[in-house]
A and B are shown apart, each in its own frame.
Chain A
């Protein structure tokens, strides 16, 4: 059965089991490997993608539920906040093993798209669903603050 939706800005139809989690549909059917499998139960956040701009755990999101909706993966990140997040991740050398970082970046981007100057409590709320076993948490926090600052500087200039 086919499901049609918008994937990274492109109209996409995937012919797969409608109960298949979005994670496996985008990885194995659409061929976008940036989104990772970590727990399969929405407990770790490695599979975070944006559904209509909201961060969701694609490992528990059935493919059928995204019909007609807008899905963004790490491969389709183009917004200003996303660019600021990725630049800050490089600047502060956040990743270690790197496996969870697509999900971290998707969650952080979704946060900054809603809240341009998050405080530490906002960051805890937005990011505590994303596990990093390398515990790069200090740098993730610092990078989110840095990205917020660079966005503020950018909008002040603009």
Chain B
């Protein structure tokens, strides 16, 4: 781990707990009645609260509440959001707490999406100006309040850690004591923001607001929601994608003690019971006959044969520069490769779950909700209510990696449809997925086939680049369909069509396939496969040109100084030029831009005589603009590397005659402790606006390791996961 500026005194444990807020503490109460944020504030008897905007509340005790429009799913969004607002407010970090925003697209839209939701590593990027301004306006009003109180000009006032000072008269007042007065003032239209050189919180080590509750078991996940009279539902879903319920016999399920009701819903048949165990036993006993007329019955191996054929046929153009076809014909040397990427499940640690309390006129939802606006709309449509009648309590999500952000709101809609079929009588129902439900459940990162060709001229310069991608569209056929232009879903080709290397002739094209296997974005989206293909192929081209792969890349990035800089930083810190590695070991490099963040990684691997690969060390350089919280950035790079490495080495979903062959973590393998390399993270200092860090760290690790395997063995890895080749 990289130590950062840790000179800032850390809050005490007590302050930590305070900062973590009431959500965690509530987890200690058995069978609590949920108090939403507004109700909590009312219950606390706080009559006068200074709330200058939708993101900030200061109460007379001085407690600063930052309202987070983004879900906290591990990426550190709560901490980052609070840091930005608290910076401009000049708040005392120990007095800052975070609470989740209600579903309200008017106030809490993601400015990158135009609706409320979290994804695409946008949380900090879209909140940056908005929350700086929100904090600065709050501070300006507190200053005005003090100036009126003391009858001194605002220009003579200063602030620090939640206190306003007037040096001339040696007076000071806490924000809490000024809150009532400030609340009566008009909100200023315009306000000056801090000069970054005056930042006190941004760029420093600040402890995460959610860590204490996540260390003592009190953090509140959806799994932990208990409401009076709540029942638990498990849903039996079709064994094939696209199959439907033909008939079912609930006799045996209904006879299981604790089972209350068995109901059919559009997605299958649900067993509603008193507790998980009864629901599970009930579902095991449930007999369902399926209609698989429209179901996918092929195996993934058959689908891949089709993908290979499509790669040779004309496809939609994603990028065209120059004339690749004729340059390739006359090239002094050509290089070619093709790649196979499997379907991937997200497998967040918390299997999907949602609690719904449905009445004929209202619908209240508790979930680690990632797409509030769409979930609200989809829940409303399912319940037959206006969206305004649907409230969402966003809880900590036990991971997501994209899974909870889906346009069909699958797990939310299931929960609402079960509550509706149960009778919409206000009985709270928790829908719980098992791990097998999750692995079998679809909405995978799509399977892809890539085909690449490159041409070198007589001077060994890269002059032509052709890249064909074949796979399903994530955005097609839903509310994001408008993003699909001329047959190209940008999420299928990003990282390939946006290739940064200077090449005079480029042709990137796409063949979009269709089948009933539902697909979804998975951490770093398109770059989860495109960057692997681009970065291992450029490595292959570098070797064909007789050049060092780092030097070759650097030469093609003269016009991209930020990308070149992260590449150089990673190579330098890894000791790239320190000479050859011992036999059986290899070093590989890769660089990528994802969501405007630049990441380069150097991986060092050992390959034993039987071909088993272990990744010993990864050096990562990242440029994400202003580093808001360096320790969170480092954590996201470390975690992204582990997540991407596990997928590259072990993970894949395959279908045999339509049936998913994996079930749980036994055969959908993910990275474990003994497989985690040592990771070093280096952050490029920057004054540019911040960009995201939740996803980009995932992109380069697979190709960096594959290139290291080549360096160690002379074998190119083109089929993921590596385990398929007996290399992991």
Contacts and interface: CB of A to CB of B under 8 A. Distances in A.
Given A37-B223, A74-B216, A98-B219, A133 B348 contact: yes
20 contacts: A17-B277, A20-B277, A21-B277, A31-B226, A34-B216, A36-B350, A37-B223, A43-B435, A74-B217, A75-B217, A92-B1, A97-B73, A97-B348, A98-B396, A102-B217, A129-B672, A135-B642, A136-B639, A136-B642, A139-B638
Nearest to A34: B217
Contacts of B643: 133-135
Contact of B397 (A74, A97, A101, A131): A97
Interface of A: 16-17, 20-21, 24, 27-29, 31, 33-41, 43-44, 46, 73-75, 86, 89-90, 92-102, 105, 123-124, 127-142
B674 A128 contact: yes
Contacts of B76: 96
B27 interface: yes
B326 interface: no
Nearest to B640: A135
Contacts of A96: 74-76, 635-636, 639
Contact of B673 (A17, A24, A133, A137): A137
Contact of A34 (B1, B13, B218, B350): B218
Given A39-B664, A124-B674, A127-B673, A138 B13 contact: no
Contacts of B678: 138
Most central of B73, B666, B676 by chain A CB within 10 Å: B676
A77 B680 CA distance: 32
A101 B257 contact: no
A37 B278 CA distance: 15
A34 B673 CA distance: 22
Contact of B665 (A36, A39, A123, A134): A39
Interface stretch (B114-122, B206-214, B470-478): B206-214
A100 B213 CA distance: 13
A97 B434 contact: no
Nearest to B29: A31
A91 B664 CA distance: 33
B351 A38 contact: yes
Contacts of A28: 275-277
A38 B435 contact: yes
A99 B210 CA distance: 12
A33 to B, nearest CB: 4
A21 B276 CA distance: 10
B223 A134 contact: no
B215 interface: yes
Interface string B421-436: 0000000000010111
Contacts of A101: 214-215
A120 B73 CA distance: 29
Prevailing SS type, chain A contact patch = loop
B275 A131 contact: no
Nearest to A85: B215
A131 B74 contact: no
Contact of A105 (B30, B207, B215): B215
A11 B637 CA distance: 45
A105 B16 CA distance: 19
Contacts of A135: 638-643, 645-646, 671, 676
B214 A95 contact: yes
Contact of B398 (A43, A90, A94, A99): A99
A102 B215 CA distance: 7
Interface of B: 1, 13, 16, 27-28, 30-31, 73-76, 207-208, 210-219, 221, 223-224, 226, 257, 275-278, 347-351, 396-401, 432, 434-436, 631, 635-636, 638-643, 645-646, 664-666, 670-674, 676, 678-679
Given A34-B27, A43-B435, A43-B664, 8 more contacts: A20-B277, A75-B28, A124-B674, A131-B665, A131-B672, A135-B645, A135-B671, A138-B1
A142 B348 CA distance: 23
B6 to A, nearest CB: 10
B349 A93 contact: no
B401 A133 contact: yes
A98 B74 contact: yes
A71 B583 CA distance: 50
B349 A99 contact: yes
Nearest to A38: B349
B673 A124 contact: yes
Contacts of B208: 93, 95
A99 B350 contact: yes
A22 B405 CA distance: 32
Contacts of A138: 1, 638, 642, 676, 678-679
B223 A36 contact: yes
A99 B673 contact: no
A40 B219 contact: no
Contact of B275 (A24, A127, A136): A24
B630 to A, nearest CB: 11
Nearest to A39: B435
B642 A97 contact: no
B665 A44 contact: yes
B215 A137 contact: no
Contacts of A94: 211, 215
